[in-house]
Amino acid sequence: MPTALIADDEPLLAEHLVSRLAELWPALEVVAVAANGLEAMAALGARTIDFAFLDIRMPGLTGLQVAQVAGQTRVIFVTAFDEYALAAFDSAAVDYLLKPVSDARLAQCVARLQREARPEVDLAAVLAQLAGRAAPALTWLTVGLGDTTRLVHVDEVIYFEANQKYTDVVTASERHLIRTPLKELLTQLDANRFAQIHRGLIVSLPAVARIQRDLLGRYQVHLHQRPETLPLSRSFAGQFRQM
Protein backbone atom coordinates (compact mmCIF):
# COMPACT_ATOMS: atom_id res chain seq x y z
CA MET A 1 0.00 0.00 0.00
CA PRO A 2 1.47 3.41 -0.94
CA THR A 3 2.06 5.83 1.95
CA ALA A 4 2.00 9.60 2.23
CA LEU A 5 2.97 12.46 4.50
CA ILE A 6 1.05 15.76 4.55
CA ALA A 7 2.77 18.83 5.97
CA ASP A 8 0.88 22.11 6.36
CA ASP A 9 0.84 24.63 9.21
CA GLU A 10 -2.90 25.24 8.64
CA PRO A 11 -4.74 22.26 10.22
CA LEU A 12 -8.00 22.77 8.33
CA LEU A 13 -6.23 22.75 4.96
CA ALA A 14 -4.27 19.64 5.96
CA GLU A 15 -7.48 17.87 7.03
CA HIS A 16 -9.16 18.88 3.78
CA LEU A 17 -6.29 17.43 1.73
CA VAL A 18 -6.44 14.19 3.74
CA SER A 19 -10.16 13.83 3.02
CA ARG A 20 -9.82 14.64 -0.69
CA LEU A 21 -6.96 12.14 -1.12
CA ALA A 22 -9.04 9.49 0.64
CA GLU A 23 -11.78 10.11 -1.90
CA LEU A 24 -9.56 10.19 -4.98
CA TRP A 25 -7.04 7.54 -3.96
CA PRO A 26 -8.49 5.12 -1.36
CA ALA A 27 -5.42 2.87 -1.50
CA LEU A 28 -3.13 5.68 -0.32
CA GLU A 29 -2.41 5.56 3.42
CA VAL A 30 -1.64 8.92 5.03
CA VAL A 31 0.76 7.85 7.77
CA ALA A 32 1.66 11.28 9.13
CA VAL A 33 0.31 14.83 9.21
CA ALA A 34 2.93 17.41 10.19
CA ALA A 35 2.20 20.95 11.39
CA ASN A 36 5.62 22.35 10.46
CA GLY A 37 8.87 21.56 8.66
CA LEU A 38 10.58 20.01 11.67
CA GLU A 39 7.74 17.54 12.22
CA ALA A 40 7.78 16.69 8.52
CA MET A 41 11.50 15.95 8.62
CA ALA A 42 11.06 13.79 11.71
CA ALA A 43 8.28 11.80 10.02
CA LEU A 44 10.45 11.19 6.95
CA GLY A 45 13.28 10.01 9.18
CA ALA A 46 11.09 7.65 11.18
CA ARG A 47 9.92 5.45 8.30
CA THR A 48 9.88 5.04 4.55
CA ILE A 49 7.20 7.22 2.96
CA ASP A 50 6.36 7.11 -0.73
CA PHE A 51 4.89 10.59 -1.21
CA ALA A 52 5.18 13.88 0.69
CA PHE A 53 2.65 16.67 0.11
CA LEU A 54 4.52 19.69 1.46
CA ASP A 55 3.44 23.28 2.04
CA ILE A 56 6.34 25.61 1.24
CA ARG A 57 5.96 28.35 3.85
CA MET A 58 6.05 26.54 7.21
CA PRO A 59 7.56 27.33 10.62
CA GLY A 60 10.90 25.76 11.48
CA LEU A 61 11.86 24.52 8.04
CA THR A 62 10.34 25.37 4.69
CA GLY A 63 8.94 22.71 2.40
CA LEU A 64 11.91 23.31 0.08
CA GLN A 65 14.33 22.53 2.91
CA VAL A 66 12.42 19.38 3.83
CA ALA A 67 12.46 18.27 0.18
CA GLN A 68 16.26 18.43 0.15
CA VAL A 69 16.41 15.57 2.67
CA ALA A 70 13.41 13.61 1.39
CA GLY A 71 15.61 10.94 -0.23
CA GLN A 72 13.52 8.58 -2.36
CA THR A 73 10.23 10.10 -1.21
CA ARG A 74 8.46 11.76 -4.12
CA VAL A 75 7.60 15.35 -3.26
CA ILE A 76 4.48 17.29 -4.25
CA PHE A 77 4.38 20.93 -3.19
CA VAL A 78 1.01 22.38 -2.14
CA THR A 79 1.25 26.15 -1.70
CA ALA A 80 -0.63 29.42 -2.11
CA PHE A 81 2.40 31.07 -3.72
CA ASP A 82 3.39 30.52 -7.35
CA GLU A 83 6.76 32.30 -7.11
CA TYR A 84 8.39 29.09 -5.81
CA ALA A 85 7.61 26.99 -8.87
CA LEU A 86 11.13 27.12 -10.34
CA ALA A 87 12.78 26.31 -7.01
CA ALA A 88 10.27 23.49 -6.47
CA PHE A 89 11.13 21.75 -9.70
CA ASP A 90 14.83 22.34 -9.05
CA SER A 91 14.16 20.22 -5.94
CA ALA A 92 12.92 17.42 -8.24
CA ALA A 93 9.28 17.88 -7.20
CA VAL A 94 6.83 15.55 -8.90
CA ASP A 95 4.09 18.20 -8.98
CA TYR A 96 3.25 21.73 -7.81
CA LEU A 97 -0.30 22.43 -6.63
CA LEU A 98 -1.60 25.95 -6.00
CA LYS A 99 -4.06 26.50 -3.15
CA PRO A 100 -6.99 26.29 -3.12
CA VAL A 101 -6.51 22.97 -4.94
CA SER A 102 -9.52 21.96 -7.00
CA ASP A 103 -10.69 18.35 -7.18
CA ALA A 104 -9.86 18.36 -10.89
CA ARG A 105 -6.25 19.45 -10.29
CA LEU A 106 -5.76 17.03 -7.40
CA ALA A 107 -7.20 14.17 -9.46
CA GLN A 108 -4.74 15.04 -12.22
CA CYS A 109 -1.89 14.86 -9.71
CA VAL A 110 -3.11 11.52 -8.32
CA ALA A 111 -3.31 10.10 -11.83
CA ARG A 112 0.26 11.18 -12.45
CA LEU A 113 1.51 9.56 -9.24
CA GLN A 114 -0.28 6.30 -10.01
CA ARG A 115 0.71 6.11 -13.67
CA GLU A 116 3.92 4.13 -13.27
CA ALA A 117 2.49 1.50 -10.95
CA ARG A 118 -0.93 0.86 -12.42
CA PRO A 119 -3.05 1.58 -15.50
CA GLU A 120 -3.80 5.23 -16.10
CA VAL A 121 -6.67 6.61 -14.05
CA ASP A 122 -9.84 7.49 -15.95
CA LEU A 123 -9.85 11.13 -14.84
CA ALA A 124 -13.17 11.87 -16.52
CA ALA A 125 -14.85 9.02 -14.62
CA VAL A 126 -13.42 10.23 -11.29
CA LEU A 127 -14.67 13.77 -11.86
CA ALA A 128 -18.07 12.51 -12.98
CA GLN A 129 -18.32 10.50 -9.77
CA LEU A 130 -17.46 13.55 -7.69
CA ALA A 131 -19.95 15.73 -9.55
CA GLY A 132 -22.72 13.22 -8.95
CA ARG A 133 -22.05 13.17 -5.24
CA ALA A 134 -22.01 16.88 -4.42
CA ALA A 135 -21.81 17.78 -0.75
CA PRO A 136 -24.81 19.50 0.85
CA ALA A 137 -24.63 23.27 1.19
CA LEU A 138 -22.77 24.63 4.22
CA THR A 139 -25.07 25.30 7.18
CA TRP A 140 -22.80 26.15 10.13
CA LEU A 141 -19.48 27.98 10.44
CA THR A 142 -17.03 27.40 13.28
CA VAL A 143 -15.51 30.72 14.34
CA GLY A 144 -13.18 31.81 17.11
CA LEU A 145 -13.66 34.79 19.41
CA GLY A 146 -10.79 35.16 21.86
CA ASP A 147 -10.51 31.89 23.77
CA THR A 148 -14.03 30.88 22.73
CA THR A 149 -15.15 28.82 19.75
CA ARG A 150 -18.74 29.21 18.62
CA LEU A 151 -21.02 28.24 15.78
CA VAL A 152 -22.49 30.80 13.40
CA HIS A 153 -25.43 29.73 11.22
CA VAL A 154 -25.09 30.85 7.62
CA ASP A 155 -28.51 32.54 7.93
CA GLU A 156 -26.80 35.07 10.24
CA VAL A 157 -24.20 36.00 7.64
CA ILE A 158 -24.63 39.30 5.78
CA TYR A 159 -21.54 38.89 3.60
CA PHE A 160 -18.15 37.20 3.31
CA GLU A 161 -15.06 39.26 2.49
CA ALA A 162 -11.64 37.99 1.40
CA ASN A 163 -8.88 38.82 3.88
CA GLN A 164 -5.56 37.76 2.31
CA LYS A 165 -5.76 33.93 2.28
CA TYR A 166 -8.51 33.87 4.92
CA THR A 167 -12.12 35.15 4.96
CA ASP A 168 -14.03 37.61 7.15
CA VAL A 169 -17.53 36.47 8.13
CA VAL A 170 -19.70 39.56 8.68
CA THR A 171 -23.02 39.32 10.55
CA ALA A 172 -25.34 42.14 11.60
CA SER A 173 -23.24 42.94 14.68
CA GLU A 174 -19.98 40.96 14.45
CA ARG A 175 -17.03 40.17 12.23
CA HIS A 176 -15.14 36.86 12.48
CA LEU A 177 -12.09 35.48 10.66
CA ILE A 178 -12.10 31.93 9.28
CA ARG A 179 -9.29 30.06 7.54
CA THR A 180 -11.30 28.93 4.50
CA PRO A 181 -10.38 31.02 1.41
CA LEU A 182 -13.25 32.85 -0.27
CA LYS A 183 -12.91 30.86 -3.52
CA GLU A 184 -13.21 27.55 -1.66
CA LEU A 185 -16.06 28.84 0.50
CA LEU A 186 -18.11 29.80 -2.58
CA THR A 187 -18.32 26.15 -3.67
CA GLN A 188 -19.83 25.19 -0.26
CA LEU A 189 -22.58 27.81 -0.11
CA ASP A 190 -26.18 27.57 -1.33
CA ALA A 191 -26.18 29.27 -4.73
CA ASN A 192 -29.83 30.23 -4.25
CA ARG A 193 -28.95 32.26 -1.17
CA PHE A 194 -25.42 33.59 -1.72
CA ALA A 195 -23.90 35.35 -4.73
CA GLN A 196 -20.44 36.63 -5.53
CA ILE A 197 -20.56 40.36 -6.26
CA HIS A 198 -16.84 41.12 -6.44
CA ARG A 199 -13.61 39.21 -6.63
CA GLY A 200 -13.35 39.52 -2.84
CA LEU A 201 -17.01 39.58 -1.76
CA ILE A 202 -19.92 37.13 -1.43
CA VAL A 203 -23.23 38.56 -0.23
CA SER A 204 -26.34 36.99 1.27
CA LEU A 205 -29.15 37.78 -1.16
CA PRO A 206 -31.82 38.23 1.57
CA ALA A 207 -29.49 40.85 3.14
CA VAL A 208 -29.51 43.05 0.01
CA ALA A 209 -31.78 46.10 0.37
CA ARG A 210 -31.11 47.69 -3.01
CA ILE A 211 -28.48 48.23 -5.69
CA GLN A 212 -27.67 51.73 -6.94
CA ARG A 213 -25.50 53.05 -9.72
CA ASP A 214 -23.60 56.30 -9.24
CA LEU A 215 -22.85 59.03 -11.81
CA LEU A 216 -19.71 57.16 -12.90
CA GLY A 217 -21.69 54.01 -13.60
CA ARG A 218 -20.38 52.13 -10.56
CA TYR A 219 -22.77 49.79 -8.75
CA GLN A 220 -23.11 49.79 -4.96
CA VAL A 221 -24.96 47.18 -2.88
CA HIS A 222 -26.90 48.57 0.10
CA LEU A 223 -27.68 46.20 2.96
CA HIS A 224 -30.61 45.85 5.37
CA GLN A 225 -28.64 45.39 8.60
CA ARG A 226 -25.24 46.97 7.91
CA PRO A 227 -24.43 50.65 7.28
CA GLU A 228 -21.62 50.07 4.77
CA THR A 229 -22.15 49.61 1.06
CA LEU A 230 -20.41 46.94 -1.02
CA PRO A 231 -19.03 47.33 -4.55
CA LEU A 232 -20.67 45.29 -7.29
CA SER A 233 -18.29 44.47 -10.13
CA ARG A 234 -19.63 44.81 -13.67
CA SER A 235 -18.66 41.18 -14.33
CA PHE A 236 -21.13 40.07 -11.61
CA ALA A 237 -23.83 42.70 -12.18
CA GLY A 238 -25.81 40.67 -14.72
CA GLN A 239 -27.25 38.35 -12.06
CA PHE A 240 -29.03 41.33 -10.43
CA ARG A 241 -30.67 42.87 -13.47
CA GLN A 242 -34.08 41.52 -12.43
CA MET A 243 -33.85 42.86 -8.87
Q: Identify the CA nearest to 6 among candidates 63, 73, 60, 54.
A: 54
Specify the 3-state DSSP secondary structure of 40.
helix
Which regions in the chain score pLDDT beneath 70? 83-92, 116-135, 145-147, 241-243
Q: What is the pLDDT of residue 222?
A: 96
Specify the 3-state DSSP secondary structure of 51.
strand
Measured CA to CA, the distance from residue 165 to residue 179 in angstroms comes to 7
Q: Give the relative orientation of helices 103-114 and 123-131 as an angle to the nearest 10 degrees.
A: 150
pTM attached to this predicted model: 0.48
pLDDT in tens, 198-242: 999 999 999 999 999 888 888 999 999 999 999 999 888 887 765
In order of their start, the domains of the chain are: 3-131 (3.40.50.2300), 140-240 (2.40.50.1020)
Q: What is the pLDDT of residue 92?
A: 63
How many residues comprise the chain? 243
